[in-house]
Structure 1
Amino acid sequence: MGRLPDFLVIGAFKSGTTSLAQFLGDHPQIYMPWLQEPNYFAYEHADMEGSPRPEVERNSVYKRHRARTLAQYESLFEEAPAGALVGECSPEYMRSAYACPRIAEELPNAKLLAILRNPIDRAFSDYQAFVRDSLERAPFGEAIRRPPGIEPGSQYVMTGFYGRQLQPYFETFGADRVKVILNEDLRVDAKHVLDDVCEWLGVDPMPDSAALANQFNVSGRPRNSAVALAYKLRRVSRPWAKPIVPERLQRGVDSILANGLQRESVSPAVRSELIEIYREDIELLQSLTGRDLGEWLRQPAPKATGKVAPRIASVDAASADKSDAESAVSSASPSTTPARPADAPDGPDFLVIGAAKSGTTSLSYYLRQHPDIFFAREKESHFFLYEGQQPDFRGPSDAEEFLPLIISDKARYLECFASAEASQIRGEASVYYMSSPDALRRAIAHNPKMKFLAVLRNPAERSFSAWSHMMRDNREPVDDFLRAFGLEAERREADWSPGFFYESMSQYGEQLAACYEAVPAEQLKVVLYEDLVSRHEEVLAEIFEFLGLQPVDIASERVMNASGNPRFRALNKLLTQRNPVKTTLKRVIPYEAGMAIAQRLASWNLQRRALSEEDRAVLTQRFSEDVTRLEQILGRDLSAWSASTKAGAGTHN
C-alpha cells in the first residue's frame, strides 16, 4: 500500500485554506502535494477504476483535478521524502456528509486541521470569487437568497455553518485530534499561529525565513474588463497548467492579478440578517472549540477615534431598491474633498527621505496605491540634495547607475509631478535626503508645509543589505563585507557615491538629530522597518493619517528591491540596471504591472545572502552608541536590534 496522509486540512472554503496549505508546504519537514483539493474522501465511495493520475472533474464549473481512486490518491504522495509528515488540503471534507466516516475508516490515526473565519466574511469572499471569475452577476444580498441546490449561491451561506459540520469530527476523532484555528488570528500573527500548529503536528516551528505575509487565492471584483478577462483565462487554463507550471510562477501570476481586484465589504443590513442566521451555529462552535466568537455576532467596530474609516467599497442588500449589481458598489476612489490645498506650491508635499535598504521601495509602492496620492515615478532624483549642482561621483558604475538618476534642474524636477490630479498630494523618494539637513532645509524653503517620512531598520542588517545590493548589481569590488564596511573613508576621498557608505548611512541617531534641527518635529514621521513588516496595515494607517489622508485597503504583501546573489547575472542586469530594453518596456507596460512582473522575476532570480553571527556581533557593538542616541530621540526601546539572531536578516528592502 502506498503512502497516505498523516493530517488533513479539512476546511473551510475561502477561510485561508490555500494560504495555510502553502505555508505548511514550505515547512522543510512537511510534504504537501501539488494538487490542492483532491477531495478523495468527499464522496460516498472511491471509484474502482480510472487513470493512474488524478483526473479533471468535467462536470465542475472550475474543472479541477480530483483523485477518484485510491491509486490516484496514493500517487499524490509518491515523492514525499522519507521521514516527512504528509498532509493534503481539501476544504470539501468539512461540508461533506461522507468525508468524516470515510476518513475514520481509511485514516484512523490522522489529525484534522480546520481554519475558519467569520462566516459572513467567508460567504462574501466566496461570492466575490465567483464575481472575480465572471460566474456571478447578482448583488450579494440577492445571491444569498437563492434556493438550496441553485449554484452559485446556496453554498455561500451553507458553507458557513461550521458548528454542525465540525461536530461529527469532534465526536468521531476527539478534541485532541481536531484542531481549529481562525483566519483572523493568522492574519494578525501568522508565525505564532503556525508555530502552534507545528507543535500540534509534532514538527519544528516554522522557519523564520518563511514568507508568511503572502495571501493566496484572493477574492474581489475586477477593476476593469482586462482584469476580468485575465481571470477567465486563468480559470480555463488552470486544469492543464496546475500540474506542469512551477508553483512559484503560478503564485507570482496570481499575485500580479490580485492587484487588479477591488475589495468590497458587506453592507450593515445584510450583515445583520446573516448574524441572525448564523447565531445558533456560532454558539455551537463556541461550545466545541472553547473559543469566544462573540466578535462574529457584532457589526465591525468603527476605526479608532482620530482616524477616518477606510474608503472601501460597500455592497448593499438586494432589498435596497438597487436594480443593478454595479449600483450596489461604491468604489475606493479619490475623495470628493480635495486632499491638496489649491494654493499649495508646485512639486512635492512629502518626501520619503531614507534610509536606503530599509523598506523605502516597498513603502513607495504602498503609498502609490492610495487614490489621493501622486507618487513620482522618478526615484532617487535627490533634487533638494543637488539642486543647481553637477555632482561627479567616481565610484564603480556611478556614472552609469547613479548620476543619471539625479535631477538638479528645478523645471525638470517639477515636471515629475505634472501628471498629478489637482486634488492629489504629491510625493517622491530619495533615500539620501536623511543624511543631509541642508537638503531638508531646501525642501522646507520650497514648501513650508513639506512632510518627511523616514524608515529605519536594524543598522547591522541595513548595512549588510546595502553591501549585498551593490554585490547584486556587480558594483561592489570587495567581496568581504566587513572589509568593504571599513573602506568608507577611502571611498569618500575618492568621490564614490553615498550608496557605498555602509557605516555612516546606518548611523540614524546622528542623522535624525540633525534632521530635527532642520525641520519642525511635527512634520517628520519615523517608522521602523520591523513594524512595517509585522504591523503593516496599522503602520500604513498611521502614515496616511500623518499625511492627512483617509486609510484605504491596499495590496501590501509584496517585498520590493530585494538584495542577494543573482542566479543569472544577465537577467539581473536587465531588471536592475539602466538599459534600452528596460527603458522601452517602461513606455509600453503600465507602471503597476511592470513593477509587479519585475519584482517577481527579481525575487526568483536572487539567492539571499545571510549576515553571519560573527559579523553581526561586530556591527552591533559598532552601532551601539548611535542606537542608544536614537532611542533617546525616538523615546523607544530598540534593544531587539542588539539580539544575536534576527528574523529576515540581511537582504530585503
Structure 2
Amino acid sequence: MPSVRPNFFIVGAPKCGTTALYHALRQHPEIFLPGAEGPHRYWIEKEPLYFCDDLDIADWVRVSQLEDYLALFANAGDAKRIGEASALYLLSASAPRRIQEFAAEDVRILILLRPPVDWMRSWHHDCLTYAHETIGDFSEALAAEPDRAAGRRIPKTSGYPGCLHYRKAARFSDHVTRYFETFGRERVRVFLMEDLNRNPLGMVSDIFDFLDVSADFQPVIERRNDSKVLTRTHLWEFRLGRKLGSMQRAKQFLDRIPAQPLDWYRRAMLRLAPPLSDKRIDPNLRKRLVEEFRPEVERLSALLGRDLSHWNEVAPAPAA
C-alpha cells in the first residue's frame, strides 16, 4: 500500500495563532492532523519540521527521517485532508520547493501573520522560555544578530540556531512571496492573527471552504499558546533533558531522586534558569522598530491586498 502523504500544510508563522488553528482543524471529521497527548511528543508530532533543513534545526526537535515522517500519517484513514502544522516552514527558503515536490496533489497552504515588531518580541520570548535563546534582553538579542549570522553567540542549548535572526525572520513579505511563486496564489491562503481573534469561527469556516471540506462544521476554538502546554515542572525537565542529551536520560536521572528532594531541586533549578522577561517592548525601541519595518509592512500590504496601516501604530498590539 502506498504511503499516505499530506495535502495541506499550516506553514506559520509561529506565535501567530497556528496552535489554536491546529487544534480547531483537528476536530473536523474530514481532516487528519497528527498529534500526541504526552508532553515530550507533543511538538514533534504537531510540528515535525521535516522540510526545513536550511534552518539548521537540531534533530532532537524535528523529524529528520522519511520513514518517521510518513509514520505520522499512518492513521489518517479516509480523511479528505491530511496535513501538518510546522510553523517554521514559513521562515525556510527551501521548504516551499521541498513541500511541492513531496506533497500529494491539490496541496493547500495556510499562513497566519501578525505585526512584525510584535512578532519578533513574542518569538524572542518563546525562544527564551525554551532555552533556544539565552539573551534575556530583547534589545541585546537584536544587536547580536550580526554575530549570530557569522555563527557566533549561538546558545549551546538552542535547537533553532537558524531562527534567532529576528529581523530576517520577520520580513514576512519575502516568505509569503516564496509560497505564492511556488504554489500559485490560488493554493495559498493568508490570514492575520487579528482575524482569528475577532471572528474565529468565520475564519475557520473560510479555511474549511478553502480545504474543500464541510464548512458547516463548527469546532470549539480556544486560544492556545505552546509556551503554556507544559507545566513549569515539565519545562524544567525539558531543559534538563536538553542538558543531558535526551529526555530518556533525564527520566533516568529523576527516577533516582526521592520526591521531596526532587521538589526542592526543581525549585532551585527554576530559579537558576535564564531570566525570562515579559513581552513588553521598551517604548523607544518599539518606535524605532516600527519605523524600521514600515516599508516591510507596506510591501506586505500590497502583496496581500489588505490595508495593514494599523500595524505601523506605535502602541503595542494585544500580547499573545
Tell me which interval the TM-score lies in, with the shorter structure as reference length.
Answer: 0.7 to 0.9
1:279 paired with 2:276, answer no
Structure 1 stretches of 4+ with a deviation exceeding 6 A read none
1:132 maps to a residue whose letter is T
1:9 paired with 2:13, answer no
State the shift of 1:38 in Å: 1.3
Aligned mates of 2:188, 2:118 — CA distance in 1: 23
Unaligned runs of 5+ in 2: 36-44, 156-162, 249-275
CA distance 1:171–1:59, shift in 2 (3 Å): closer
Aligned mates of 1:206, 1:190 — CA distance in 2: 14
1:188 to 198, 201, 218: 198
1:233 to 229, 233, 237: 237
CA distance 1:95–1:301, shift in 2 (3 Å): closer
**Number of aligned residues:** 263
Aligned mates of 2:61, 2:126 — CA distance in 1: 15
Aligned mates of 2:209, 2:138 — CA distance in 1: 39
State the shift of 1:286 in Å: 1.4
* Cα pair 1:3 1:77 within 8 Å, conserved: yes
- Who is 2:81 aligned against? 85
Q: TM-score, normalised by structure 1?
A: 0.37
CA distance 1:280–1:58, shift in 2 (3 Å): closer
State the shift of 1:125 in Å: 0.9
- Who is 1:113 aligned against? 110
- Who is 1:625 aligned against? none
Q: Which has the higher helix share?
A: 2
1:23 maps to a residue whose letter is A
Aligned mates of 1:292, 1:58 — CA distance in 2: 34
- Who is 2:21 aligned against? 20
- Who is 1:132 aligned against? 129
* Cα pair 1:195 1:206 within 8 Å, conserved: yes
Q: How does 1:44-443 map to 2 (within 5 A)?
A: 59=58, 63-66=60-63, 68-107=64-103, 109-134=106-131, 135-146=133-144, 147=146, 148-149=148-149, 150-151=153-154, 154-205=164-215, 207-208=217-218, 210-218=219-227, 231-236=235-240, 263-300=278-315
State the shift of 1:167 in Å: 0.7
Aligned mates of 1:132, 1:22 — CA distance in 2: 22
- Who is 1:647 aligned against? none
Aligned mates of 2:241, 2:24 — CA distance in 1: 24
Aligned mates of 1:229, 1:41 — CA distance in 2: 31
CA RMSD in angstroms, aligned pairs only: 3.0
* Cα pair 2:238 2:247 within 8 Å, conserved: no
* Cα pair 2:20 2:222 within 8 Å, conserved: no
Question: Could you report, residue by residue, the CA deviation over 1:494-524 in whole angstroms, capped at 9, with x for unpaired residues?
Answer: xxxxxxxxxxxxxxxxxxxxxxxxxxxxxxx
Aligned mates of 1:133, 1:105 — CA distance in 2: 32
- Who is 1:43 aligned against? 53
Identity of aligned residues (%): 30
Question: Could you report, residue by residue, the CA deviation over 1:92-136 in whole angstroms, capped at 9, with x for unpaired residues?
Answer: 221111112222222353111111111111111111113333543
Structure having the higher Rg: 1
Higher relative contact order structure (alpha carbons within 8 Å, sequence separation ≥ 6): 2
* Cα pair 2:137 2:277 within 8 Å, conserved: no
State the shift of 1:206 in Å: 6.4
1:115 maps to a residue whose letter is L
State the shift of 1:214 in Å: 3.1
CA distance 1:276–1:26, shift in 2 (3 Å): same
Unaligned runs of 5+ in 1: 45-56, 220-226, 242-260, 303-311, 313-552, 556-653
Question: Could you report, residue by residue, the CA deviation over 1:260-292 in whole angstroms, capped at 9, with x for unpaired residues?
Answer: x98542222111221233222222211221111
CA distance 1:294–1:86, shift in 2 (3 Å): same
CA distance 1:292–1:87, shift in 2 (3 Å): same
Where 2:143 maps in the other structure, the secondary structure is coil
- Who is 2:273 aligned against? none
1:266 maps to a residue whose letter is I
Aligned mates of 1:206, 1:64 — CA distance in 2: 36
1:280 maps to a residue whose letter is P
Aligned mates of 2:115, 2:216 — CA distance in 1: 25
Q: TM-score, normalised by structure 2?
A: 0.73
Aligned mates of 2:315, 2:62 — CA distance in 1: 38
CA distance 1:230–1:74, shift in 2 (3 Å): closer
Aligned mates of 1:237, 1:177 — CA distance in 2: 40
Aligned mates of 2:216, 2:287 — CA distance in 1: 38
